[in-house]
Structures are given as structure tokens and as C-alpha cells.
Structure 1
Amino acid sequence: MTVYAIIGGTGLTQLEGLTLSAALNIDTPYGAPSAPVLRGNYAGREVLFLARHGHPHRIPPHQVNYRANLWALKQAGAEAILAVNAVGGIHPAMGTGHFCVPHQIIDYSWGREHTFFAGELDHVTHVDFSYPYDERLRRQLTAALMAESCAYSGHGVYACTQGPRLESVAEIARLERDGCDIVGMTGMPEAVLARELELPYACLALVVNPAAGKSSGVITMAEIERALADGMNQVKAVLARVLGA
């Protein structure tokens, strides 16, 4: 049976309902992960859980040690990864509370440690990243979203920006011209590091605000926090349905 790892983003720093069996403090060649890897039972099966931003939520997107996080999950026995991300909506369909299971990603971040293939290498290594997300996992997520009667899109292009600030109206207009549907700050290099470790990876993105210029007002943290509070029960129900299948 596949051992799933869940990477929890903003709003999901702990997985309520997880019956904990171990908290693993894993040393990696890349430093410490954001938090201990939690092993336990959720929805009737063994799972791993890692809080991307730490617990409590304290590590900003550009300072997450993505390499240590992915390496630690692999060492703990992860065989597939379900990543939960809070995002802004660019496409008109991506309103607050809408879910997206993206099929593509564009990386606008910079300066992040983005590969395991660096330093003193025996040979140069390239990985195919034509299709960043695992199709089987994507189908499992969309089936679960449908079964839970969630508003969702089964395709979308994720724009990963640097953060921690939100984007300007002009930047969002540029991302829209590039074909992006949602915008977040943590989708990369997480997805490609999973690919380098040969870990199937998919993203469950919850829209928590309209992107800059996509609503009449300014974006507030209170608005985002309300959307997170409203959406996390659905996130957990979707994850439980995937794991229980």
C-alpha cells in the first residue's frame, strides 16, 4: 500500500485527526526540515505529515528549506506526496473557496536552492519536467473533490512567485498574459525536488483571495484567514477520501 506524505501549507500546520505514532527529527545533508516529520494513522492508513512553514507557522515561503523537507520525507518512507497550497485566484473561475488541481506550473521565484544535483557531481543530471504533476494523484484528488461536492477545477497553471509580499496589479496582469490561473509562493522548487527524488507529487490548491486587481478592494490578511478557516475542513475531507480509497 502506497505510503502518502502530506505537506501542509498555510492553514494546515497540523493535521487534526492524525493518530500520532512517531515524530521524526531527521537529519539531512541539506540541513533541518521545517518541522519534525509526523507519522501516524489518518483515514485508516499510515501517513506522513510535514508542516511546510513549521509549527507554529513561522517560515516564510522564500526561506523554506525545500530540499531538507523533501529529503526527510523520502527518508521517512514517503512514496507519494500530496501538497496543500493556499493560492490567489487569477482566472475568473478561481474565486475564493474554489479548489484547483493544477496540471502545469511556471516558476517566477529566484535565489532558492532548487535542485539536489549541485556541487561536486560525477555527471550532469537533467530530469524531465514536461508534466510537473503526477496524473494518477491528480485524478485521485479530482475524484475526491467531486465526491465531496467541492467547487473545483481539474486543470490550471500555477504561477510560483518569490514572496513573501503579495504581487502588484501589473505583475498579476503579466501572469495572466502568460496563461497562469492561480498564484502562490510555495509550488517551486517543491515540485521539481519531488521529481528528482522520483516521488509522485500533486497539488491541492485552495483559493483564499482574488489576486491583485481581481477585486474592487485591497487584499487583507483577515480575508485570507477567513477563507482558510472555511476551506480547511474541506481540505481534510478531500485528503481523507483520497487516503481511504
Structure 2
Amino acid sequence: MDYALIGGTGLEHFSLTEQSVVSVETPYGEVKAVIGKLAGQELVFMSRHGQNHAVPPHLVNYRGIIWALGELGVRKILATAAVGSLSADYRLGDLVLIDQFLDFTKNRPQTFYDGGQQGVLHIDLTEPYCRDAQKVIIKAAKNLGLVVKNRACYVCTEGPRFETPAEIRMFRILGADVVGMTSVPEVVLARELGMCYATLGMVTNEAAGIADHPLSHAEVMKSMKELEIRVAQLIQATFELLTPDQKCLCASANAEVGKF
């Protein structure tokens, strides 16, 4: 299978046809994936948080998920993520493509290469998210008449708590546009295994100090419910346009270690 969809908050039950569940043994534990078809394409669906949103962001088995996708032959990953807005340019209900990230996670392994026999890989992240994959998403959005905002900077926090207003002020000064809890290390690990990776962000709330009310997960889920039809349409249209070839640099990112 060339393609994968990683569903974040609100996409724990994404519907595919001809579904089956497979288990993949990885060095990081057993990972279950759903195999199915969407838009005539066979793909792998991974629910990042599991059914019923049971796994918090700081405990997601990021290495296991990405390794399992590599074992299944995946070349291109479309990931979804609920994000909070830090800027008036990104409003509730907007769809955004993540272009850069700021990493404020604390306790997450971020590499498959821990030294010793595994070696060490200093991955280049000049363009963390695959520009070629992003172009396909933009084209799919235009075909549907949807607006997708591009070039957003995502700040990734450890979670599961929401951020303080002081933290949000700091992130804004540093240039962040949206905030979330999952894109790192997922995007890094995908690049280490030579996969194209793009994140579709869904603005589901305003961050602390910007919103005029306390933040809650219920608010995020309510916003996701209102976005789900557009998101599902865009995901399907994107997979209709994707091709398995990789003309970008993603596939050769780990060439210096020569293991994949």
C-alpha cells in the first residue's frame, strides 16, 4: 500500500470500504492498522488516539505507528490535526496546511536512530512537510471550491493540558500561527523512513488568552463535527489525485545511513 491516512482528534472512526484490521509487529510494540479503500485507492488508516480518543498525545506510540506504515510499504502520508489559532489570520473552521513547526515537546523519542548498531541520522528538515504532497491537497481543494490556507507555522506542545496565556504569547512572538500536540515527532519520523508527509490542520478553537472563555475538549469536538463533511470531501479528493511516485527529496532523506 502506497498511502496512509493518520487521523487525529475527530477522525477516530474514519470510514473506509472493504475494511480489515491488521497487526504489525514493530520494535516499539504491536500496532493495529485498518486497511481499506477510499476513492478507489487502497490505503492504511491509523487512528492516532485510538478508538474513543483513549490515548493522550504525550503517550501516542509515534515510532510504532510510523514504523508500521513503513513495514506496510507506505510512501505518502496525509495526517489530520485539530489546532488552536494564535492569529487573526486563522479563524475557527479554517483548514490550514502546516509548513513549519516549533517543537516544545519534552519526553518523546524523536528518532529511530539511537546510536550503536542503529547509527545516527541528522535529518534535514528545511522543508519538514512535503511540498509536493501539499500541492496535491491544494489542487484537490480548488476542485471542490474549498479554501485551504497555506504556510502555517505549528507549535507542538507536550499536552495533554492546554497551554497558558503566557505560553501562547511566547509562541506568537516566536512566529507560530497555530498550536497542537501531535505533529512532532510524527513528521520527523516519517522523514527518517523516506515518506512524504503532509498535515491538514483544522482550526477548532482559539488558544488561551485569545479565546474569551475557558478551553475544553468538548469545544474542539463540537468544532470538528461542524468541519467533518468538508474534511472528508477534501481527504477523498486528495487521494483521488495522489500518485505513488516521489519526485521530492523525502525518499532520499535517510540516504546517509543506507538502511531503508
> Which region of structure 1 is more displaced relative to structure 2, 215-224 or 40-49?
215-224
Distance 1:204 1:44 in 2: 21
- The match for 1:129 is 125
Does residue 226 of structure 1 match 2:222? Answer: yes
Displacement after TM superposition at 1:21 (Å): 4.2
Count of equivalent residues = 241
Distance 1:60 1:221 in 2: 12
- The match for 1:11 is 10
Runs (5+) with no aligned partner, structure 2: 242-260
Cα-to-partner distance string for 1:91-121 (whole Å, 9 max, x where unaligned): 1121111011011111110111111001533
Does structure 1 retain, via aligned residues, the 8 Å contact 2:82–2:220? no
Displacement after TM superposition at 1:4 (Å): 1.2
- The match for 2:196 is 200
Q: Alpha carbons of 1:122 and 1:226: their partners in 2 closer, same or farther (altered >3 Å)?
A: closer
- The match for 2:96 is 100
TM-score (structure 1 length as normaliser):
0.94
Q: 79, 84, 87: which one pairs with 1:83? A: 79
Distance 2:142 2:118 in 1: 46
- The match for 2:18 is 20
Does residue 216 of structure 1 match 2:202? Answer: no
Cα-to-partner distance string for 1:178-202 (whole Å, 9 max, x where unaligned): 0000000001000000000000100
Does structure 1 retain, via aligned residues, the 8 Å contact 2:83–2:203? yes
- The match for 2:51 is 55
Does residue 118 of structure 1 match 2:114? Answer: yes
> In structure 1, what residue type is equivalent to 2:137?
L
Q: Which protein is richer in helix relative to its size?
A: 2
Distance 1:219 1:141 in 2: 30
Runs (5+) with no aligned partner, structure 1: none
> In structure 1, what residue type is equivalent to 2:113?
F
Displacement after TM superposition at 1:173 (Å): 0.5
- The match for 1:41 is 37
Distance 1:148 1:213 in 2: 34
Cα-to-partner distance string for 1:114-145 (whole Å, 9 max, x where unaligned): 11001533643211111100011111112222
- The match for 2:255 is none
Q: Alpha carbons of 1:122 and 1:83: their partners in 2 closer, same or farther (altered >3 Å)?
A: closer
Does structure 1 retain, via aligned residues, the 8 Å contact 2:4–2:45? yes
Distance 2:46 2:217 in 1: 24
Moved over 4 A (4+): none
Does structure 1 retain, via aligned residues, the 8 Å contact 2:9–2:221? no
- The match for 1:150 is 146
TM-score (structure 2 length as normaliser):
0.89
